Amino acid sequence: MLHYYKLFWLNAFNIHGRSRRKEFWYPILATIIITMLGNLLIRLIPIPELITVVISFIFNFATFIASISVTSRRFHDLNMTMTFPTITYAITFTLDILYSLFNSYVTSTTVSVIYAVLMIICFFLNLAILIMACGDGHKEPNKYGESPKYA
């Protein structure tokens, strides 16, 4: 698992080529574990809130960028373009930023309902990405390169 997590970070800006399912799923699992441990540490050790916010932002942003890359390569392994995951992640990221910036200023129920509906749509789009990422890659070479599993 550590090997694939290391590959995740080494290829954080690489959107070319193909990635196996292991290269996609192990980093997700590792990120969940690291996030849970980080949340536990925040609860156990009195760390100033500003420090936790800055560290969380840096980790989450870096993970977001690396996730776009590995998802793009995973879709390439499925012989699909990176358009769907890139658009989905961009929409989700934009909504998260808007929520973070304007949440305390929004008092309108209509705006809150619209935001909730948009986030539900994003949830299902991201779920579709996860389901598609479960598929086995193409055995033969495609326009994105050799199969990482069968090479």
CB 85 within 8 A of CB 132: no
Which amino acid type is present at position 45?
Answer: I
| pLDDT beyond 90 at 12 | yes
The CA distance from 2 to 44, in Å, is 26
Average pLDDT over residues 61-79: 94
Residue closest to 94 by CA, chosen among 72, 64, 135, 134? 64
The DSSP code sequence of 41-58 is HHHHS---HHHHHHHHHH
| pLDDT single digits (tens) 48-66 | 989 988 998 899 999 999 9
| pLDDT beyond 80 at 104 | no
pTM: 0.84
CB 66 within 8 A of CB 27: yes
What is the three-class DSSP state of 10? helix
pLDDT bucket at 81, cuts 50 / 70 / 90: very high
User: Which pLDDT belongs to residue 78?
Assistant: 93
